[in-house]
């Protein structure tokens, strides 16, 4: 049995599509909860849709993705809990594939699917934990082939389930017992890196994390979070993660390189100069 949680920020039509895809799953849901961080009345109205059979919780003050996910997970009791963005829709067998993988690997705390663009192209969705290379990869003009390679920490595949550092938080099936032992999503990350932090804590407690390519989920990248205004949030969270999960020399080196490259980007002409400058400043706030 699975308690499914969708975290939305408005976008009622998109949220309903995600919920319908989960209701069409071959895996059995114990509950479906929508947690909306915008307090959107159109999302609230989804509670009246019999086809969704969903509980809706409104959090108009937007406590952040991880905090909202925790609220949804806490209302359920099933041994597995799905946390998903609202900008996804799952193939009918996706949840069943993830649940089967966790059943076959009792030492796994979490499983994530193969995420796909709407045209069927694979997305980066399974990763090694960030090191020096990943700290600067997004800020360098790397060719796409290198940016999406294992050299840059990308571990997604189309083969058998495999052990990875972490999976993308857009769609994660979590073992409730592991959450009880290691703790839920940290509310110190308002957005970004909360799934990296959780998976790192799972690994530190002796659990594994799985990527399950047979589970296929379509994901509209950044459908509800696009825009340069969130770039500072991204780098604040990244800075916090490096400081908490790496030794000080490694963290200092990674943050120093990010600061340098963000400074270079902020000095180049273009519409995102101010966003890069704000992101550079946010590195200091990621304590």
181: how many CB neighbours lie within 10 A of its CB?
A: 14
**Alpha carbons 12 and 182: distance in angstroms, whole number:** 33
- 93-101 mean pLDDT: 98
Find where tokens 């790192």 sit: 200
The pLDDT score that the predictor gives to residue 226 is: 44
pLDDT on residue 135:
85
Chain segment 98-157, per-residue pLDDT in tens = 999 999 999 999 999 999 999 999 999 999 999 988 888 888 888 888 777 887 889 999
On the question of pLDDT at 225 being above 50, the answer is no
Please state, rounded to an integer, the average pLDDT across all residues of the chain: 93
Q: What's the CATH class of domain 2-219?
A: alpha beta
- pLDDT reading at 222 higher than 80: no
For the entire predicted model, the pTM comes to 0.93
Position 287 scores a pLDDT of 57
Contacts of residue 248, defined as CB under 8 A and 6 or more positions apart, other chains included, come to: none
What is the structure's pLDDT at 73? 98
Burial 122-151, CB ≥16 within 10 A → b, else e: bbebbbbbbeeebbbbebeeeeeeeebeee
Q: Which token pair is 238? A: 């990244």
For position 181, what pLDDT does the model report?
97
pLDDT of residue 167: 98
Residue ranges, comma separated, of all CATH 3.90.550.10 domains in the chain are 2-219
Side-chain-side CA neighbours of 11 within 13 Å: the count stands at 21
Tell me what pLDDT residue 262 has.
94
- Is the Cβ–Cβ distance between 59 and 68 less than 8 Å? yes
Q: Which tens digit of pLDDT belongs to each residue from 183-212? A: 999 999 998 999 999 999 999 999 999 999
Least confident of 19-33, 105-119, 218-232, 243-257: 218-232
pLDDT at 53: 96
How many whole angstroms from its chain centre is CA 3? 17
% of the chain exceeding 70 in pLDDT? 97
């Amino acid at each position: 049995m699975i308690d499914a949680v969708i975290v939305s920020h408005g976008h009622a039509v998109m949220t309903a599509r995600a919920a319908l895809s989960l209701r069409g799953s071959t895996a059995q849901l114990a509950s479906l909860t929508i947690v909306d961080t915008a307090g959107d009345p159109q999302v609230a109205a989804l509670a009246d849709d019999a086809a969704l059979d969903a509980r809706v919780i409104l959090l108009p003050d937007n406590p952040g993705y991880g905090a909202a996910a925790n609220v949804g997970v806490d209302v359920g009791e099933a041994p597995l809990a799905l946390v998903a963005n609202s900008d996804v829709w799952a193939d009918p067998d996706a949840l069943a594939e993830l649940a089967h993988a966790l059943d076959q690997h009792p030492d796994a705390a979490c499983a994530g699917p193969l995420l796909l663009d709407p045209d069927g192209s694979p997305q980066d969705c399974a990763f090694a934990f960030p090191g020096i290379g990943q700290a600067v990869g997004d800020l360098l003009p790397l060719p796409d082939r290198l940016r999406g390679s294992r050299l840059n920490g990308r571990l997604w595949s189309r083969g058998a389930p495999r052990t990875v550092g972490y999976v993308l938080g857009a769609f994660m099936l979590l073992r409730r017992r592991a959450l009880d032992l290691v703790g839920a999503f940290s509310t110190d990350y308002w957005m970004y890196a909360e799934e990296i932090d959780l998976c790192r804590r799972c690994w530190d407690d002796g659990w594994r994390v799985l990527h399950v390519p047979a589970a296929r989920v379509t994901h509209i990248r950044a459908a509800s979070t696009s825009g340069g205004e969130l770039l500072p949030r991204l780098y604040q969270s990244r800075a916090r993660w490096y400081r908490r999960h790496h030794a000080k020399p490694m963290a200092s080196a990674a943050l120093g390189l990010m600061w340098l490259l963000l400074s270079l980007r902020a000095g180049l002409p273009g519409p995102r100069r101010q966003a890069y400058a704000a992101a550079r400043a946010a590195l200091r706030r990621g304590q």
